Amino acid sequence: MADLQEIIAEPPGIGEVLDVAGLFTRAAPIEMEIGCGKGGFLLRRAREHPQRNYFAIEWASKYYTYAADRFRRWGLDNVRLMRTDARHLMTHQFPNAVLSVLHVYHPDPWPKKRHHKRRLFNAEFVDAAVGALIPGARWAVQTDHAEYAEIIQGLLLNHPQLEPMEFDDPEFGTTDERTETNFEVKYLRQGRHIYRLAVRKRR
C-alpha cells in the first residue's frame, strides 16, 4: 500500500526537467490529468487499470490535499500527485514523448477578459503538451464555458500534429459522453451544457 510520501511528487527545481517516468516504481504507459480536483476520475482510472501509471496536477490546496489522502486510503501505488502551476510545468519543465493519454476536464475559464492571460490553454501550452504526447496518444478536453471551448477547439483542431477522434471511448474513461468528474456532475445538475473534444497526436 502506498503512503503519502510515495503519492506526493515534488515539483522540479528551477531549470530542471521533470523525470515523469522516474516518479514511478515500474515502467508503464503514463496517463496525466491536469486539474484532478478531488481525484474521482483518476481514482477510477487507477483502480480499473493497475497496469498503467497515473500522474495528476492540482493547484487548489484543499482539492490537492483531499485527493492525495483519497489515493492513499485506496492504497494506490500507480498514482502520483503534484501541486504546481500546470502551464509553467508543461511549457518549461516537461519532457517530450512520455504521455500516452492527457486529460484536461473543466480548466478554470477565467471568464473576465482581464484574466484571460491566466488561462491554461494558449498556443505555447498546446505546443508543449503535444510535444509531451507519444505518437498516437489521446488528449481529451471538456468545459462548460462556450467561449473558452471555442478557443480550445481552434487551438487543438488547427494544430498540425493533432487530428480529431471520438470523445466516447470506455478504454479512456468516457462512456455516453460522461467522465463523471465532480465538476461535470455538478454542472449537469445545474443544467449547463458541456463541450467535449478529443484529439490524437498523429503517428
Q: What does the pLDDT read at residue 171?
A: 81
Side chain identity at residue 5, one-letter code: Q
Mapped onto helix, strand or coil, the DSSP state of residue 141 is strand
Structural domains of the chain, ranges and CATH numbers in brackets: 4-11+28-201 (3.40.50.150)
pLDDT in tens, 112-163: 999 999 999 999 999 999 999 999 999 999 999 999 999 999 999 999 999 9
* Predicted confidence pLDDT, tens digits, the chain (203 residues): 567 878 999 999 999 999 999 999 999 999 999 999 999 999 999 999 999 999 999 999 999 999 999 999 999 999 999 999 999 999 999 999 999 999 999 999 989 999 999 999 999 999 999 999 999 999 999 999 999 999 999 999 999 999 999 998 888 877 666 777 777 778 778 888 899 999 999 99
C-alpha 96, offset from chain centre: 16
pTM: 0.93
Catalytic residues: 108
Residue 73 CB partners (closer than 8 Å, separation 6+): none
Packing angle, helices 40-48 and 61-73, rounded to 10: 30
d(CA 145, CA 143): 6
What's the full length of the chain, in residues? 203
In 3D space, the residue among 166, 179, 143 whose CA is nearest the CA of residue 31 turns out to be: 179
Q: Show the beta-strand stretches assigned E in the chain.
A: 30-34, 53-57, 79-82, 99-105, 133-143, 162-165, 195-201
